[in-house]
């Protein structure tokens, strides 16, 4: 199965971002991708954290969800919809950072709300997602073309226990693929992005699909980019370093079986 990571440089304007995302999904599908993943906040990177409140949607309604559903159905692909702001019932000051998945028929398959909320302060850059976001609390996976696919978002990447929970969910097979839609800062991405992606691939013996924001945004923020697809041996199979574009590679079931047979680490787990 061909999988694709879409890299964007999203703006503070929803309509422009949906147009750009549509163009890039079209490009990925034209390259033969059967599963396409968009980056975190593909729909909006606002001037202020609170800007996302104005575009928040309720489940099953709104232009962002309609766009994702239509794009999946148009191309007959699975779409991992990066993230979007999802309304919190009864609150006008909090949203959830939500990843929605749509199947080839355009129907919603899964919803994951980002569990770990990013905070960073080095004296020059300051971020605190908890000012606006409400955290999620449940790991989520879905099935695409017979492959179990785990969902995570950006800062989740620093918490290997989430990926272990996905990999060893009771009664479920190990995940063949983990998705990590992200908007890593340039500072943290340069230091840790590739290292963490390859570590999660190696320790879980799975493919990693990591679409990212990548460039200098109109709000002044600079994101690291380097959207990647990593194989189960930790090898980088595809990478889009900077600017919008698509990284594409094959998820090879025989390669997964080979790695897991030659080094049966998943079967050796005891804790």
Q: What does DSSP say about strands 2-7 and 245-250: parallel, antiparallel, or unpaired?
A: antiparallel
DSSP single-letter state for residue 158: G
CA distance linking residue 58 with residue 204, whole number of Å: 34
Point out the catalytic residue in the list 52, 57, 99, 114.
114
CB atoms within 10 A of CB 119: 12
What are 84's two structure tokens? 């979007």
Backbone angles phi, psi at 98, to 5 degrees: -110, 135
DSSP 238: E
- Quote the tokens at residue 66: 């309609």
- Among 57, 99, 129, 154, the one annotated catalytic: 154
Active site residue 175: no
Per the annotation, the verdict on 194 as an active-site residue is no
Note if 40 is an active site residue: yes
Q: Is residue 87 helix, strand or coil?
A: strand
40, 57, 129, 244: which is the annotated catalytic residue?
Answer: 40
Q: Nearest CA to 119 among 106, 109, 108, 128?
A: 128
Show which residues are catalytic: 40, 114, 154
């Amino acid at each position: 199965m061909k999988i694709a990571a879409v890299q964007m440089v999203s703006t503070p304007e929803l309509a422009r971002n949906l147009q750009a995302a549509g163009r890039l999904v079209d490009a990925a599908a034209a390259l033969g991708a059967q599963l396409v993943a968009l980056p975190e906040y593909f729909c909006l990177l606002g001037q202020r954290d609170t800007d996302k409140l104005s575009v928040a949607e309720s489940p099953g309604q709104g232009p962002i969800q309609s766009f994702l559903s239509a794009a999946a159905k148009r191309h007959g692909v699975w779409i991992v919809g990066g993230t979007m702001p999802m309304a919190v019932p009864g609150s006008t000051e909090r949203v959830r950072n939500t990843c929605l998945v749509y199947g080839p028929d355009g129907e919603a398959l899964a919803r994951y709300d980002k569990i770990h909320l990013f905070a960073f302060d080095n004296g020059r850059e300051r971020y605190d997602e908890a000012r606006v976001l409400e955290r999620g609390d449940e790991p989520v996976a879905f099935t695409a073309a017979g492959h179990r696919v785990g969902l995570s978002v950006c800062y989740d990447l620093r918490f290997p226990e989430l990926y272990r929970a996905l990999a060893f969910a009771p009664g479920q097979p190990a995940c063949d693929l983990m998705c990590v839609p992200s908007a890593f800062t340039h500072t943290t991405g340069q230091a840790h992005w590739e290292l963490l992606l390859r570590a999660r691939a190696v320790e879980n013996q799975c493919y990693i699909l990591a679409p990212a924001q990548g460039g200098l945004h109109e709000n002044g923020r600079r994101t690291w980019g380097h959207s990647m697809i990593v194989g189960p041996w930790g090898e980088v199979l595809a990478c889009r370093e900077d600017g919008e574009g698509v990284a594409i590679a094959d998820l090879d079931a025989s390669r997964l079986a080979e790695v897991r047979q030659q080094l049966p680490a998943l079967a050796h787990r005891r804790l």
